[in-house]
Amino acid sequence: MRTGDPLHVRLLRLLRDEGAVSRAELGDRLQMPRPRLVAEVERLVGLGYVAEAGLAASRGGRRSTLVELNPRLRFAAVDLGASSIDVEVVNGRLEPVAAYAEPADIRSGPKVTLQRVNELLHKARADGAYERLDAVGVGVPGPVSFRDGVPVSPPIMPGWDRFPVRELLTREHGCPSVVDNDVNIMAIGERHGGVAHSVDDFLFVKIGTGIGCGIYLNGEVYRGTDGCAGDIGHIQVDPNGPMCSCGNLGCLEAVFSGAALAREATAVARTEASPALAERLAARGAVTALDVAQAATEGDVTCIRLIRDGGRRVGGVLAGLVSFTNPSMIVIGGGLAQLGHILLAEIRSVVYRRSLPLATGNLPVVLSELGPRAGVAGAAVLASELAFGEAA
Amino acid sequence: MRTGDPLHVRLLRLLRDEGAVSRAELGDRLQMPRPRLVAEVERLVGLGYVAEAGLAASRGGRRSTLVELNPRLRFAAVDLGASSIDVEVVNGRLEPVAAYAEPADIRSGPKVTLQRVNELLHKARADGAYERLDAVGVGVPGPVSFRDGVPVSPPIMPGWDRFPVRELLTREHGCPSVVDNDVNIMAIGERHGGVAHSVDDFLFVKIGTGIGCGIYLNGEVYRGTDGCAGDIGHIQVDPNGPMCSCGNLGCLEAVFSGAALAREATAVARTEASPALAERLAARGAVTALDVAQAATEGDVTCIRLIRDGGRRVGGVLAGLVSFTNPSMIVIGGGLAQLGHILLAEIRSVVYRRSLPLATGNLPVVLSELGPRAGVAGAAVLASELAFGEAA
């Protein structure tokens, strides 16, 4: 909680994160004189954000009334991936009251994709998950102008450039909405309810189909001048490496990512180096990053080597970023976080060896706690912050 | 000027940066009701920060009085390099009223070095540059705990670890003082009075004896969790490169920096590859980075290649940092900025080719405007900010 924020935002956040609180405790916690607090609570009750919730346990004198967020509050949280849609409707405390996850191709364009998002949300309403939404938060897999609420030149999202995502959702659902990059919302989720809880300076590294990084500095997401900060997938790690989708050679995500690992594993499966992968290829006609993870846990040395090679590449890039930003924590998430402790051990080893000792003296490198839910969790936080800010 | 800062700080900054201003204009500029402004000015006059400066030109009605910073205000600005001491005493408008520059070895330790700083400042007082100092700002060539005012594990500063620099200067000069990393103060100087004037998000890359980076994000210097953010000199650029002073192989500053370039140029001078360098070696027994710069401007192809190779290395690291932070500008400073446009052209070429197009669409990569004065200029700004903050 930043004390620079207005009182009503701090109050609503406290009720969101801690549930019902007595007026007396609210006054203590927000260091607010009683009359001003009472007036503010009344105002927020009038606006429909806050409700009475019975009497608190006695503190000796007159029993104080509990207040909580209005049980009717609802936020929609949407996480659009390269090949998936995740939608949740959550209450004021950010607890899911409806959740949908399905495969989808972001390349089918904004109209088809957002149409499906709207259908899922209307279905949630028909199922009784909400009467009306108070805000919608959306993450998309590409750079976003946070101010304008539009994707900006997103490489893997044909047809989405400058598409008015925010405007369309706001019109459809009659509430404010907010659009951000998918890695940023994962970082926001992890900071609110995951392993980075209340850590002010950390990097959230997503290793999935592509690779990206959410950056928390001084307790705020840092998005950069054009909204594309954190695009570490195209840092060159091998000048003689494979051609990347961006046209350069040896980018991190051309060398190690879900797509790169599946490609390399398929090549390996055709040789005699990995019986485990060869078996999977024969059985299903393809191998994926997940196959590599499973074969590695079964002790397949080639798969262990593939993961360690990748970890070394990621670690090399992160070592530079640690020297550059001197963060308090690194969180590894995204689909390839399933590669687990073999990957993590290799990343740690390179980061600890190659960064300035002062910067790594007390630097945890850990796996995401929220896993695949990090994105929707963060989108829900963003939506709630937007709604709270509007309660002016 | 950030509007979140208290009125008195905004007022003092305006007088620092623009000189004498009428009360009427001050009220307009700070969007402050006249009575409150008049009271605030009176208070600052009483505290000795502000003084009357005659009548303003008529705006039609009664002529408004001009106010300015008290002409007696003095700040000391100190830039400690690996091999130099720069000291300036400046007035409230940050104009130098005394300046000293001399060679010094930071490895002689904090007592000897700060003793010399104090001698120079006492000499300035004896020469009439000031009666008393209002604040001292100091930059040192290593990581600093900004909060504690002490260097922290600085690699090239034996004996300085946790030495109470701030406390010693405060006691000696009877005024508040502030200690920061040398690259940070260069960035602060360049933002206040140089090419990055009022740019909120930029990287200041110092290429000198070592290599470091000052980071401005959202209009503030970003110092990292332990004060060592921006330490890009130890990012690995060549796993088979030369051993660095930090013990790792192929760090950027082991491959290209003042020290590395002088070493490489000396080796070249002993061959027949560069007549220009061979001649300088014969004449003076050693060659420096500056010799390489001069020979390059005379057309020596080997020297041009040395500079271009270095630029390519620096550019490769910066390309990654541009993808990561998406800044609005990159400023190149430090001693090797003297290598000038050959260096700059190579850095630009790599950054523009290798970073995300969205991040480089409008990204100037420019040379420092303040050159060797960037450090003291920034130390003076820091000192003034400290003093203004104390005028509470």
Neighboring chain B residues of A314 at a CB cutoff of 8 Å: none
Chain A nearest C-alpha distance from B65 (Å): 35
Residue that wins the pLDDT comparison between A335 and A287: A287
Instruction: Flag whether pLDDT at B118 surpasses 70.
Output: yes
Task: Say which DSSP state B144 is in.
Answer: E
* A358 chain-B contacts, CB cut-off 8 A: 143, 152-153, 226, 228
- Asked whether the beta carbons of residue B324 and residue A223 sit closer than 8 angstroms, the reply is no
Any idea where the domains of chain B sit in the sequence?
7-69, 74-190+373-390, 197-368
pLDDT number for residue A258: 87
In the predicted model, what is the mean pLDDT of chain A?
A: 92
Region A116-136 average pLDDT: 97
**Where are the extended beta strands (E) located within A104-155?**
135-140, 144-145, 150-151
Task: Give me the interface pTM, i.e. the ipTM.
Answer: 0.83
Q: What is the pLDDT of residues B3-53, one digit of tens each?
A: 567 889 999 999 999 999 998 889 899 988 888 889 999 999 999 999 998
Average pLDDT over residues B176-192: 97
* Class of domain B197-368 (CATH, top level): alpha beta
Give the tokens for residue B260: 């590395």
d(CA A391, CA A5): 13
Contact B201 A225 (CB under 8 A): yes
| Contacts of A48 by beta carbon, 8 Å cutoff, 6+ apart | A70, A72
| Nearest CA distance, B31 vs chain A (angstrom) | 21
Domain B74-190+373-390 falls under CATH 3.30.420.40: yes
pLDDT in tens, B336-364: 888 888 999 999 999 999 887 778 888 99
pLDDT at A3 over 70: no
User: Can you list the pairs that A5-9 forms with residues at least 24 positions away whose Cβ atoms lie under 8 Å?
Assistant: A6/A392, A7/A32, A7/A36, A7/A40, A8/A40, A8/A43, A8/A44, A8/A388, A8/A391, A8/A392, A9/A385, A9/A388, A9/A389, A9/A391
Q: Which residues pair with A136 in a beta bridge?
A: A76, A177
* Nearest-by-Cβ selection for B231 from A220, A235, A356: A356
Residue among A317, A324, A328 whose CB faces B213 most closely? A324
Contact B248 A354 (CB under 8 A): yes
How many angstroms away from the CA of B73 is the closest CA of chain A? Answer: 31
Q: Cβ separation of B226 and A321 shorter than 8 Å?
A: no
- The stretch A357-381 carries a mean pLDDT of 92
Give the pLDDT of residue B360: 84
- Contact indicator for A87, A78 with CB cutoff of 8 Å: yes
Residues 6+ apart with CB under 8 A from A112: none
Instruction: List chain A residues with CB under 8 Å of B248.
Output: 353-354
List, for residues B199-245, the tens digit of each pLDDT value.
Answer: 999 999 999 888 999 999 999 999 999 888 999 999 999 989 999 88
Secondary structure of residue B303 in the 3-state scheme:
helix
Whether pLDDT at A379 is above 90: yes
CB atoms A359 and B224 under 8 Å: yes
One DSSP character per residue, A151-177 reads E-S-TT-TT-TT--HHHHHHHHHTS-E
Question: Bridge-partner residues for A34, per DSSP?
Answer: none
Provide the pLDDT for residue A1.
Answer: 44
- Interchain proximity B327–A225, CB inside 8 Å: yes
**Residue A59 pLDDT:** 65
CATH of A7-69, one of 3.40.50.2000, 1.10.8.590, 1.10.1060.10, 1.10.10.10: 1.10.10.10
Residues from chain A contacting residue B214 (CB–CB below 8 Å): none
Q: Which two tokens stand for residue B208?
A: 């000198």
DSSP string, A186-240: HHHHHHHHSTTTT-SSEEEEEESSSEEEEEEETTEE---SSS-TT-GGGSBS-TT
- Is residue A253 less than 8 Å (CB to CB) from chain B? no
Chain A and chain B share a number of CB contacts under 8 A equal to 129
Q: Is B145 on the interface with A (CB under 8 A)?
A: no
Chain B residue with minimum CA distance to A316:
B236
Residue A217 has pLDDT above 80, yes or no: yes
The architecture of the domain spanning A198-368 is 2-Layer Sandwich (3.30)
Q: Which of A202, A326, A363 to mutate to test the interface with B (most CBs of B within 10 A)?
A: A326
How does residue A4 score in pLDDT terms, banded at 50, 70 and 90? low
- CB within 8 Å: B224 and A232: no
Q: Tell me if domain A7-69 and domain A74-190+373-390 are identical in fold.
A: no
Average pLDDT over residues B138-149: 94
String of b and e for A322-332 (b: at least 16 CB within 10 Å)? bbbbbbbbbbb
Which of B20, B30, B33, B32 lies closest to B64 in space, CA to CA? B20
Residue A324 to residue B357, Cβ atoms within 8 A? no
Q: Hey, what are B338's tokens?
A: 């003297």
B251, B244 in Cβ contact below 8 A?
Answer: yes
Asked if B355 and A317 come within 8 Å (Cβ–Cβ), the reply is no
Summarize pLDDT for A236-278 with one digit per residue, the tens.
999 899 998 888 899 999 999 888 999 999 999 999 889 999 9
Residues in B 183-242 with any Cβ partner in A closer than 8 A: 201, 213, 215, 217-218, 220, 222-232, 234-236
What's the average model confidence in pLDDT over A32-58? 88
Q: Do B236 and A320 touch (CB under 8 A)?
A: yes
Which positions 349-388 of B are in contact with A (Cβ < 8 Å)? 353-359, 361
Chain B hits for A361, CB-CB cut-off 8 Å, are: 226
* Cβ–Cβ gap B324/A143 under 8 Å: no
Q: What are phi and psi of B331, to 5 degrees?
A: -110, 130
Region A161-174 average pLDDT:
97
- Among A358, A360, A362, the residue to mutate for chain B (most B Cβ within 10 A): A358
- C-beta atoms of A359 and B324 within 8 A: no
How far apart CA A49 and CA B201 sit, in angstroms, is 36
pLDDT in tens, B274-326: 999 999 999 998 899 889 989 998 999 999 999 999 999 999 999 999 999 99
Give yes or no for residue B1 having a pLDDT over 50.
no
In angstroms, rounded to a whole number, what is the distance separating the alpha carbons of residues B86 and B104?
10
CA-closest candidate to residue B180, choices B194, B169, B195, B172 = B169
For residues B70 and B91, what is the distance between their CA atoms, to the nearest angstrom?
Answer: 9
Distance from CA of A294 to the nearest CA of B (A): 31
DSSP string, A277-339: HHHHHHHHS---HHHHHHHHHTT-HHHHHHHHHHHHHHHHHHHHHHHHH--SEEEEESGGGGG
**A20 to chain B, closest Cα gap in Å:** 32
Give B46-95 pLDDT, tens digit per residue. Answer: 999 999 988 777 666 667 789 999 999 999 999 999 889 999 999 999 99
Q: Do B320 and A320 touch (CB under 8 A)?
A: yes
How much of chain B, in percent, has pLDDT values that exceed 90?
75
**Cα–Cα distance list, B27 to A215, B31, B41 (Å):** 39, 6, 10
Dihedral (CA of A108, A114, A115, A120) sign:
positive
Residues of A in contact with B327 (CB under 8 A): 224-225
* Rounded Cα distance, B11 and B32, in Å: 10
pLDDT of res. B278: 93
Amino acid at A130: Y
